[in-house]
Amino acid sequence: MWKDKVVGVAELGRTADKYTQTSTAIFKLEEQAVALLARLRPYRPYFPQEFKRSKEVKADRDPFTLAVGETQICVDSSKGIVADRIKVTAAPTFDCSLLVASVPRRVADQPDPRDFLIDPAAAVMEPPWSRAPKVIVRASKVELLKMLTKLDQSSRLLLLLVSLAPPKGERNGWFAVYKDADNDRLILDARPPNRKEIGLVFWVRLLVAPGSLVDCVLEPNEMVAQYAEDAVDYYNRWLVTVERAVRNSLAVELRVSDVKHLRACPELPDGAFVVPAVYALAMGDLQAVELGQLGHLAIAVRA
């Protein structure tokens, strides 16, 4: 018997979404088990044989058996964007070009580093996709415009002529995931542009390695403090180039008449269409964690 105070979903913080998704998965598994039991019941010898005795193919007798790789996940942690649940901070101010140099700096400035001379040991190239994965912007038009307004007010929005944006099949999806009871986290579904880039994986190796503490010698009165989270709004405060913002173009087109109230809107006829793009080192960007980790280390070294 549980004798302590009742713990609600709101008290679980970031783990709340894992709890609710796991609970949903369990219920779905139970539904499938009940359905499978109903299908197999006629094969039990001590039950009345009331089912039709026609010839059945394997798909009829065993509808839940699928080949490995053909099953679909029964839960989805992504959700539609609700602008009021997204916290947008002040305009970005962190300039990583003052801290990093060489290849990482060029990658930060130019999203596609295929032409750069990169050490193969510090990069990974994903197997090429036969075609770009289909992505969507998961937001109603009303919520999308509210979200774009918040980005515009914090100097994070770029509106491009359709002719200047990447082809629609190479643009990004956009969705939210649960963060806590009051807020969601924005995620850029950047699989289309990611598949064309070389992912840098040199500095991210320190995320799971104790090597950074090997040469750390403490005095008797000193302590080491370990932090498991990024600085608050760390990635959201990065200044990025126009090239990276264009790379963050969304898979949606809007009439100028819908966005003409925004500062980022170019002077175009009301009937023209524009593509929204995000000035950010977005979660979902193939290089985000590598550049973010390098920025963390550079700040620590200069501290």
The answer to whether the beta carbons of residues 180 and 85 sit under 8 Å apart is: no
Alpha carbons 154 and 83: distance in angstroms, whole number? 14
pLDDT at res. 52:
47
More confident residue, 73 or 147: 147
User: What global pTM score does this model have?
Assistant: 0.72
20 has a pLDDT exceeding 80: no
Scanning the structure block, which residue is given the tokens 């990611």?
194
More confident residue, 205 or 71: 205
Residue 24 CB contacts under 8 Å (≥ 6 apart), including other chains: 74, 75
Per-residue pLDDT band for 115 (boundaries 50, 70, 90) equals very low
Scanning the structure block, which residue is given the tokens 């992504």?
78
More confident residue, 230 or 22: 22
Residue 231 CB contacts under 8 Å (≥ 6 apart), including other chains: 296
Per-residue pLDDT band for 51 (boundaries 50, 70, 90) equals very low
More confident residue, 164 or 203: 164
pLDDT at res. 50:
46
In order of 80, 96, 162, 235, the CA distances from 165 in angstroms are: 24, 25, 5, 24
Per-residue pLDDT tens for 73-99? Answer: 556 678 899 999 999 988 998 888 777
Helices 102-109 & 288-302 angle (0-180, nearest 10): 130
| pLDDT, mean over the chain | 80
Residue 136 CB contacts under 8 Å (≥ 6 apart), including other chains: 173, 189, 251
In order of 26, 70, 96, 105, 296, the CA distances from 299 in angstroms are: 44, 45, 10, 15, 5
CB atoms within 10 A of CB 31: 11
Enter the tokens of residue 137.
């912007």
The answer to whether the beta carbons of residues 287 and 107 sit under 8 Å apart is: yes
Per-residue pLDDT band for 62 (boundaries 50, 70, 90) equals low
**Which contiguous run of DSSP H or E holds residue 106?**
helix 102-109
